[in-house]
Amino acid sequence: MAEFVYPPVILAAKTMFRVLDNRIRVEGAEHIPATGGAVIACNHVSYLDFIFCGLGARPAKRLVRFMAKKEIFDNRIAGPLMRGMHHISVDRKAGLASYREALEKLKAGEIVGVFPEATISRSFTVKDIKSGTVRMASAAQVPIIPMALWGTQRLWTKGHPKTLTKRHVPISILIGEPMHAAPGEDAEVLSKELRRRMSALVDKAQAEYPDKPASEADRFWLPAHLGGTAPTPEEAKDL
C-alpha cells in the first residue's frame, strides 16, 4: 500500500509539537507488535487523540488505521487526508461495511485504532465501552493493545476552546500489555476487562503527570475525583 500522505502528516505533527515544546512521553511501546495485525483501544479525552495514539505506535515503526465517523471524511480539508492515510470511514447507518473493512485490514497485518468509548469523555475518566472492539479482534484473531492518553484534553476537548498553539504541555502516552480474545469468549466480560485495563493506565498517567493546573480556571482539565472542575461521570452522562 503506497504511503504518500501519512509520513508527511506525521512529520508535520512531530515538528509542530517540537516547536511548541509539548513534551511527549511514550511508555510501553514494546507492547506494539512489530508485525501483524492488532487493535489499539485508546481512551478518548480530546479531538486530537488520534494523532497522539498514532504517535504511540511510531517507536514500533507502525502506522495506525483509525476508525472515524463519516462526517470527518466528508470534510473538505480533513477528508482527503483521512482517505490518503487509509483510515476507515464509519457510517453509523451502515456500520457493517466499515466493520468488514477493518477486519480486512487486520487480517492483512495492519493495526487498527479505535476509541471504544465512542465519544469524548467529558469527565476524563473511562466511560463504558462498546463490545465491538473485542468482537473485531476476536474475529480477526489479533491482540488488543490498551492505550491511555493524558494531557491532550488541555489542547482541544469538548466544551472548551481549542488551544492548538499552547506551549509546554506534557502529553503522556501509556501502552499496556496485549489482551487476547479467543473465539467463543464472552465479549461483554472481555470488554469489562479491557475497560479495567484502560482505566488503570489512565490512573497511572494521571498519577505520574508532571504538571498541575496553574490557576482556578485551569482546573478544567482535571477530573472531579482529583480536585478538578471537570464534570463527574454522572454529570457527564447528563451533558
pLDDT single digits (tens) 215-224: 999 999 999 9
In the predicted structure, residue 184 carries a pLDDT above the cut 90: no
**pLDDT category, 183, cuts 50, 70, 90?**
confident
3-class state of residue 85 by DSSP: coil
Q: What value does the mean pLDDT of the chain take?
A: 96
> Where are the domains positioned within the chain?
29-238
pLDDT, tens digit, for every residue of 46-100? 999 999 999 999 999 999 999 999 999 999 999 999 999 999 999 988 789 999 9
CA distances from 110 to 68, 105, 129, 193 (A): 16, 5, 22, 24
- Give per-residue pLDDT as tens, 104-121: 999 999 999 999 999 999
Q: What count of other Cβ atoms lies within 10 Å of the Cβ of residue 167?
A: 9
Q: Provide the CATH topology of domain 29-238.
A: Glycerol-3-phosphate (1)-acyltransferase (3.40.1130)
